Structure 1
Amino acid sequence: MNDTVASFAHDLRNKVNIVIANLELFEKKMESGLAWIDTKTYFEKSTKTLLTLTEFLDDMVNHHIEVEVSLNDLIIKAIETFKMSPLFIDYQVIASPIVTVNKVHIDRVISNIIQNSIEQNATSLQIILRKNSISFHDNGGGINSEVLLKIKSGSKASTKTQGHGLGLFSLKDLCEKHHWKLELQNRSRHDCHPVKNGLFIMITFPKPASHE
């Protein structure tokens, strides 16, 4: 129960931080005398995020209910939420699968992955949605190898110092619950070079998913 509460608190904090970031950007625009140009945009984005926050709280009550959801729709919604962030998101749709899952859980997972990329100072994130898989690859700092092993082993040790927090544990829990295959690895610029080139995440659905 404590893990569940901590996970929800983590995700709630992420959504609030998005609103705060938008307001901070607006404040900087005000200081430069350019706020009037983007006033409507900043407030629209903040309002949309607050609306998703309301939906999130409503869905928490029904966190055990699973329904058919369009991954494409959820990803588009998540990207829209982070539109004002400095992260460039390259989203490619090869297929649009429908999966049966708890909507709030998978929505949290997608939003957490994007938020984690921002926290790792990534400037770009590639998302590819295929018939039976979805992959994420950013150019941020990756994950410490020891922390990566803890996540794969199911350890609940915090990874917040690496910027990935409880979000990846929530992802792992989701995949285990639905018997999805999860691949997590740091990608290097060169195989023999120690410099990391971001985190790579792939979720594969073992059973053929329906499509839109």
Structure 2
Amino acid sequence: MVKEKINRLLLPSIILYRSIAICCMAILIVVQAKLIYNTYELKNRQYNLDEKELINDAYKQAIRNEVLFPGGAKILRQHIDKNLVKFQELYTNGPKEFEAFQKQVSEELYKDLTRYSTMDSLFRAIHTQLALTNDLQFLLILNNIAITFDGISYIPIYHKGVFGDAPVNIREVGQGMLIDGDLSFANRENLVTSISISDPSPNTLQVSFSLYVDQYNRQIAILKQMVPTLSLSLMSIAFVLLIYYFTYRNWLKQKKLADMKSDFLNSITHEFNTPISAILVANKSLQNPDIITNYTRVNTLTGIIKRQTDRLQTLVNQALDITSMSKENIEKESHDLEKLLEEIINDYELKTPEKVQIRYTAFTSGSIVPLNRFLFTTMLYNIFDNALKYNNAAIKNITVITDWKERHLTVSIKDNGIGMAESTISHIFEKFYRGKHNLQTGGLGLGLFYVKQSLEAHGWRLHLQSQIGVGSEFCIFIPYHTNNTGL
């Protein structure tokens, strides 16, 4: 009841702390993601700056007095200069005819510029000239063509979107028509140069074009440069997650320990109250003048007091023995294991009810084992007690077998009790732990913990197998030594 009240009080705090931890973790991840993104954008803008300047200078030098590429100016004059008069007439007298002719000239110009482009060979020459090691790609885009009849105002012949939704046989990329190149995208980060040529004289052209150059795997190259930043960021997040994890796990352990201590206090209160109550009742009865003269009644009551006092002493000793047990402070003597087991079983059978059968089979003989007799006896008694306490069979069976297995001397104790689930087995040897079951049994949750401590004190190990509804088997492995058996 007390534990349930405590859990109800703690539940809102647990939810609050967990929510705060999750929110803080989410904020940290968002901040780290923002920082990484900003770092990527910064490196993206600064990437290949030296190569851009070199390519820009070489390209401008190569197309001096040219447009787009060597030979590009001639193609432009062929399509625009010869049509200047017609453009002027249509622009003045027939806007619809002007738009149709504008589209026609733009498409024809696009065909010739792409057909006769020398940009690919020019770019290879620049690449060789500058001894660039990167595998670079380029895009050459014509952004704008306009004409002026008076040297002041310009009339567009082509720019992206000039034809509206009308179909046009021109491949457009970025902000204009694609003249040459195989770069998959154009943006400000890979823009090398944007050139605009004009002459403020009547009947002249205004031409704007752009060159874009980039590595084909730019994003991967940038991410490689960011490996230290990414690693540190991920490590910091992982480190914080680990701190959260271990903190939460330790908190769960502490909570579990607190729960077990609470269970222990509840159990020990019950276990101590039972014999104390019996002693008090017996003592009160002995104060009755009618009973004090009855030898039989007095003998019965003193027997009750003796048994309950012994039980209290056993409970106290069990709790104290747990705290002082270790490999270093136990005294061992050599014992014939088979004979000792027979004595222990015979003594235990004296206090068991008739509906309990203990079978002992020894497949070994003359096994001399160094052990602490008291600890060994108490350990077996605890296992036997467990086998009977958690058993609802009509005839309760315990089978004890000694044998050799894996070069170890083994003592197997098997019962036909209620068995244990895997979740119970993983905790059954913990201090104060008591499994969840329907049987109303007493105890402090120290019996099997005592077994574990005894095994560790002797340097032995235990293998436990259990099946619900079938029973459990405790198998103790005692290390083999030639002087144990005389072999």
Question: Shorter-chain TM-score category?
Answer: 0.5 to 0.7
Q: Which of residues 457, 476, 481 is equivalent to 1:177?
A: 457
Write the distance in 2 (CA, Å) between the matches of 1:90 and 1:119. 18
Partner of 1:145: 422
Q: Which of residues 336, 353, 357 is equivalent to 1:88?
A: 357
Q: Which of residues 367, 373, 378 is equivalent to 1:103?
A: 373
Partner of 2:115: none
Deviation at 1:144, TM superposition (A): 4.1
Q: Deviations over 1:135-184 (max 9, x none)?
A: 01100012343331113xx6323227666842221221222233322101
More relative contact order, 1 or 2 (CA 8 Å, 6+ apart): 1
Structure 2 unaligned segments of length 5 or more: list them.
Answer: 1-263, 276-309, 322-328
Normalised to the residue count of structure 2, the TM-score between the two structures is 0.28
Q: SS in structure 1 opposite 2:419?
A: coil
Give the aligned residue type for 1:155.
E
Give the aligned residue type for 2:424.
V
What is the 5 A alignment of 1:104-123? 104-121=374-391, 123=396
2:397 is aligned with 1:124 = yes
Partner of 2:253: none
Write the distance in 2 (CA, Å) between the matches of 1:77 and 1:206. 22
Q: Deviations over 1:181-205 (max 9, x none)?
A: 2101213xxxxxxx43101110111
Structure 1 unaligned segments of length 5 or more: list them.
Answer: 1-5, 18-49, 188-194
Q: SS in structure 1 opposite 2:465?
A: strand
Contact 1:150 1:157 (8 Å CA) reproduced: no
Contact 1:95 1:211 (8 Å CA) reproduced: no
Q: Which of residues 321, 329, 339 is equivalent to 1:73?
A: 339
Contact 1:66 1:102 (8 Å CA) reproduced: yes
Write the distance in 2 (CA, Å) between the matches of 1:206 and 1:114. 23
Give the aligned residue type for 2:473.
F
Write the distance in 1 (CA, Å) between the matches of 2:344 and 2:383. 10
2:472 is aligned with 1:199 = yes
Give the aligned residue type for 2:447.
G
Deviation at 1:88, TM superposition (A): 0.7
Contact 2:349 2:358 (8 Å CA) reproduced: no
Contact 2:357 2:398 (8 Å CA) reproduced: yes
Report the aligned-residue RMSD.
3.6
Deviation at 1:127, TM superposition (A): 0.7
Q: SS in structure 2 opposite 1:133?
A: strand
Write the distance in 2 (CA, Å) between the matches of 1:65 and 1:197. 37
Give the aligned residue type for 2:426.
L
Partner of 1:190: none
Q: SS in structure 2 opposite 1:205?
A: strand
Q: Deviations over 1:66-117 (max 9, x none)?
A: 1112222332222222244221111101113221121110010111111211
Contact 1:186 1:196 (8 Å CA) reproduced: no
Contact 1:75 1:110 (8 Å CA) reproduced: no
Write the distance in 2 (CA, Å) between the matches of 1:117 and 1:150. 17
- In structure 2, the CA distance between the partners of 1:73 and 1:159, relative to structure 1 (3 Å rule), is farther
Contact 1:141 1:198 (8 Å CA) reproduced: yes
- In structure 2, the CA distance between the partners of 1:119 and 1:155, relative to structure 1 (3 Å rule), is closer
Give the aligned residue type for 1:117.
A
Runs of 4+ displaced beyond 6 Å = none
Write the distance in 2 (CA, Å) between the matches of 1:71 and 1:114. 17
